[in-house]
Amino acid sequence: GLRNLDKHVRNLRAFGQNIVVAFNKYATDSEEEIELLHTHCNELGVGFAVNNAFSQGGEGAVELAQLVADTVENNPSKPLQFTYKDTDSVQQKIEKIATGIYGASIVTYSSSARNLMKQIGELGISHYPVCIAKTQYSFSADPKIYGAVNNFEFHIKDIVINNGAEMIVAIAGEILRMPGLPKEPQAQHIDIVDGHIEGLS
């Protein structure tokens, strides 16, 4: 809702970043809803554009693209502020993201995650950046608590060391990191017939 939008705007402004709001339009969206959000964005002082790319392709995204270009051109961003330092420990990095970005009040860890953080320190790879894998439905790790919430416990269930990519992935709550493919992937139906690609949809 609008409260979630307000929180996102506050968080981004704290980092000195430009803000635009893209409204992905679907057939069920009413003009009254769109106008309500547009008015609210004007009151917040942030750009707003309707994205119709789903139904109109590239033509439906022209308004959004122009808004982004104009915003960047007319409102140079302030110097980028990082959430954590490269020299922070993995635990410090996780906690700065969870409290500073998501709004958590405390971060808890499974015994496995704690052991892995210790191992990361011993391996000398604490300088790797941290990515947190969590539900997309909430700032918390609970998919049933929608949107922006405050003062919640953020639980780190596991930690994955991606040594080749030089990245640490903290797993928050119950989440499936990679969706499974169907028994018969669409790729099996893609072919080139008389110079034309078939089976993409």
Closest CA to 124 of 169, 170, 166: 166
Q: Is 54 left (phi over 0), alpha (psi -120 to 50) or beta?
A: alpha
75 pLDDT higher than 90: no
Percent of the chain with pLDDT over 90: 45
152 pLDDT higher than 80: yes
State the pLDDT at residue 88.
Answer: 97
86 pLDDT higher than 70: yes
Give the DSSP letter of residue 194. Answer: T
- Cβ-count burial 178-201 (b if 16+ within 10 Å, e if not): eeeeeeeeeeeeeeeeeeeeeeee
Mean pLDDT, rounded, for 73-101: 89
Question: What value does the mean pLDDT of the chain take?
Answer: 87
Q: Which residue has the higher pLDDT, 151 or 198?
A: 198
pLDDT tens-digit map of 172-194: 988 777 767 777 888 888 999 99
pLDDT tens-digit map of 110-142: 999 999 999 999 999 999 999 999 987 877 777
State which fold the 90-172 domain adopts.
Formyltetrahydrofolate synthetase; domain 3 (3.10.410)
Q: What is the pTM of this model?
A: 0.63
104 pLDDT higher than 80: yes
Burial of 86 (0-12, 13-18, 19+ CB in 10 A): exposed
In the chain, domain spans: 2-74, 90-172
User: Is residue 161 very low, low, confident or very high in pLDDT (cuts 50, 70, 90)?
Assistant: very high
**Which residues lie across from 95 on neighbouring strands?**
none
pLDDT tens-digit map of 3-57: 777 877 877 777 667 889 999 988 888 889 899 999 999 998 899 999 998 888 8
User: Is residue 85 very low, low, confident or very high in pLDDT (cuts 50, 70, 90)?
Assistant: very high
